[in-house]
Amino acid sequence: MIRDWNEPVRYPDPAVKVLDRCFRQYVLGSAALERLYVGCRWAEGPVWFGDGRYLLWSDIPNDRILRWDEITGSVTTFRQPADNANGNTRDRQGRLVTCEHGARRVTRTEHDGTVTVLMDRLDGKRLNAPNDVVVHSDGGIWFTDPGYGIHVNYEGHKAPFELPERVYRLDPDTLEPTVVDETLVKPNGLAFAPDYSILYIVDTGASHKPGHPRTISAFDVVDGKTLANGRIFCDMGNCSSDGIRVDIDGNVWSAAGWGGEGSDGVHVFAPDGDKIGEIHLPEVVSNVCFGGVKRNRLFMTGSQSLYSIYVETQGVSYV
């Protein structure tokens, strides 16, 4: 999609593609795709802070977390160095929880700005490179550890794997870790259904293998602590997923990339796994989140940029 970002867009925005009529209810005819910032090397991990009306996101190779202010539109550096931070979320107390490639750990930023290490090793072995993180309604912290930060030096520090690629849960009270899945090749983005009964997990293990399925899996969440009945939720086709979020109707909004022009952007799947819509962007998209005053603004981290578009739904509030 070639667009002059200094020129207005004729409504409805041609970047939004309706694949199923049920997606029309979420499309605003007078809302356009906006590029809010450009200048990253690999943008990731957007998280919305509604109480401050700002968005944080990671720029992994530049070793920083950036802050976009909704009121002024300004972008400032929230933290640098940031241990090659990747995925971010907020816990039930509104604190920032971050996956760090560089230090190979999951951290929590307290309200006073101090940083608490939640987990960095298991049985004396270092985590690979935690990637993405979500928080359950009971306060449990769930994160993936595919190890992309130790593959090469660009997004962390190249090193051998000490542990298998897994999904973990940290107990909300004791921070005791539990391995909840190790069946996926490269567990990546993850998100809970609105009622927390399902956990969706992206597997990017086949991203660079032509002809292999590129899938998002669904697991039943048992008693808020374990996973069962893993199955394929959807196949991304020629694209690879990465970060995902879920709206209040249970639709899954997935980052999409590596499919080329006309495929890269955001793909939207109904609760039954059918793809119902797309939002086309001019670069690979790594992650998404809902924000804004009414949680009806979709933020998207592209390869080098931050984008947004208003939609007629709301993201699930996890705080």
User: 10 Å Cβ neighbour count for 52?
Assistant: 13
CB 71 within 8 A of CB 39: no
The whole-model pTM stands at: 0.96
- Looking at residue 209, what is its pLDDT? 56
- Ramachandran angles phi, psi of 22, nearest 5°: -70, -15
- Looking at residue 1, what is its pLDDT? 61
Q: Which two tokens stand for residue 102?
A: 């560089």
- Looking at residue 38, what is its pLDDT? 98
Give mean pLDDT in consecutive 10-residue pieces for the chain, a chain of 319 residues. Answer: 85 96 97 97 98 97 98 98 98 97 98 97 98 98 97 97 98 97 96 98 76 83 97 93 97 93 94 97 97 98 97 88
> What is the rounded distance in angstroms from the CA atom of residue 15 to the CA atom of residue 256?
14
Q: Which two tokens stand for residue 209?
A: 């293998």
Is there a cis peptide before residue 160, judged by omega within 30 degrees of 0? no
